[in-house]
A and B are shown apart, each in its own frame.
Chain A
């Protein structure tokens, strides 16, 4: 979905480095999400945000932090990267006004490799 932009698309880094993945959206949605995708595990929720002042942990938040700098921007940080955080990371948004049946809109992902 071109309305949800993730940067960078690919990143290779070393163990112990601090990494920031960025997500911006032009859809005007309040809700934003960060997921990681691993083969055979599907997508797992890391953090989600209802608005700028509302940040919530997902099922696998350990080792990650987030910042919602504005309604349109939601960044994910790995403070000290470790190899098992190698994965494909997705940002998503959804429109709260339509209720829980509204779809989530995904960016094209960031492929992160930690050596």
Chain B
């Protein structure tokens, strides 16, 4: 089946530190891959996505590259801010899907200290 595994948290960083959140997936073929972010008290919102191998998604200083050889989609940001404190979810949409269901990872809580 389709599944996503992401690194466990929580992760606590100082402002301007480098952030990496690991995400690997299991799927048949080449799924579409997403990172969603959930700020405190809010719903999830799309952070970035990649739809084919070697694509790089980017937004708000975050980047993730679709690596088919390692079935990974790790999220990175070079210099985090306090406002990046949130829960981050990796997700996939199976290839050829007609129902557009997403499979989510467990989420990684990130806290950035000033």
Contacts and interface: CB of A to CB of B under 8 A. Distances in A.
Interface of A: 1, 4, 31, 33, 40-45, 48, 50, 56, 58, 90, 92, 94, 96, 99-109
Interface of B: 4, 32, 34, 41-46, 49, 51, 89, 93-94, 97, 99-102, 104-107
24 contacts: A4-B43, A33-B101, A40-B106, A42-B4, A42-B105, A42-B107, A43-B89, A45-B101, A50-B99, A56-B99, A58-B101, A94-B100, A96-B100, A100-B94, A101-B32, A101-B49, A103-B34, A103-B49, A104-B44, A104-B46, A104-B100, A106-B45, A108-B43, A109-B43
B8 to A, nearest CB: 8
Contacts of B32: 100-101
A64 B45 CA distance: 25
Contact of A108 (B42, B93, B97, B104): B42
Interface of chain B, helix or strand or loop or mixed? loop
Contacts of A92: 43-44
Given A58-B101, A100-B100, A102-B100, A43 B44 contact: yes
B41 A100 contact: no
Contact of B51 (A33, A40, A96, A101): A101
A42 B42 contact: no
The CB with the most chain A CB atoms within 10 A, among B4, B97, B99, is that of B99
A48 B101 contact: yes
Closest 3 CB pairs of A and B: A106-B43, A103-B46, A42-B104
A41 B89 CA distance: 11
Contacts of B41: 108
Given A90-B43, A100-B32, A31 B100 contact: yes
Contacts of A50: 99
Nearest to A38: B106
Contacts of A106: 43-45
The CB with the most chain B CB atoms within 10 A, among A33, A44, A58, A101, is that of A101
Contacts of B42: 108-109
Nearest to B94: A100
